[in-house]
């Protein structure tokens, strides 16, 4: 399998589903019948932890509407990530499984700032 095909949106969604299952969780496909722009997957993990994941091919960014949906989720206390690599998926799952609520909130705030400014601090975008 080529590196490109390993980092396609379809391959990354499949990887997210596999990794969630390994954690005794589910990565359910989310599709609203009446609204567009919501994240691709809602991940349900043991201990009542959940997160929303917008999966993108390597280097691709969410649309303006997708950013608005992610921001809405975060404002309402949900954990939401954009993942464009296996490393980003691992980081999102790790944070959801192990981070304290304060750590998860700080991570969400850092990502929101990066997304709004288009700047990254050299780390993989999650």
For the chain, list the domains and their CATH numbers.
3-117 (3.40.1350.10)
Sign of the dihedral through C-alpha 23, 41, 13, 126: negative
Q: Is-contact 79 106, C-beta < 8 A?
A: no
Q: Which is nearest to 78 in space by CA: 97, 110, 61, 53? A: 53
Q: pLDDT at position 125, please? A: 38
Least confident of 21-35, 51-65, 99-113: 99-113
At 26-55, the pLDDT tens digits run 999 999 999 999 999 999 999 999 999 999
Output the six-digit token pair for 1: 């399998």
pLDDT at 106: 62
Separation CA 76–CA 23 (nearest Å):
25
pLDDT attached to residue 52: 97
């Amino acid at each position: 399998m080529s590196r490109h095909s390993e980092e396609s949106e379809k391959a990354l969604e499949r990887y997210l589903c596999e990794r969630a299952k390994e954690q005794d969780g589910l990565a359910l496909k989310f599709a609203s019948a009446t609204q567009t722009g919501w994240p691709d997957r809602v991940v349900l993990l043991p201990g009542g932890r959940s997160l929303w994941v917008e999966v993108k091919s390597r280097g691709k960014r969410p649309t303006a509407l997708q950013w608005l949906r992610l921001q809405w989720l975060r404002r309402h206390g949900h954990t939401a990530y954009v993942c464009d690599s296996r490393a980003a998926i691992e980081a999102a799952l790790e944070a959801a499984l192990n981070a304290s609520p304060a750590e998860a909130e700080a991570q969400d705030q850092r990502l929101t700032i990066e997304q709004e400014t288009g700047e990254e601090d050299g780390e993989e975008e999650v």
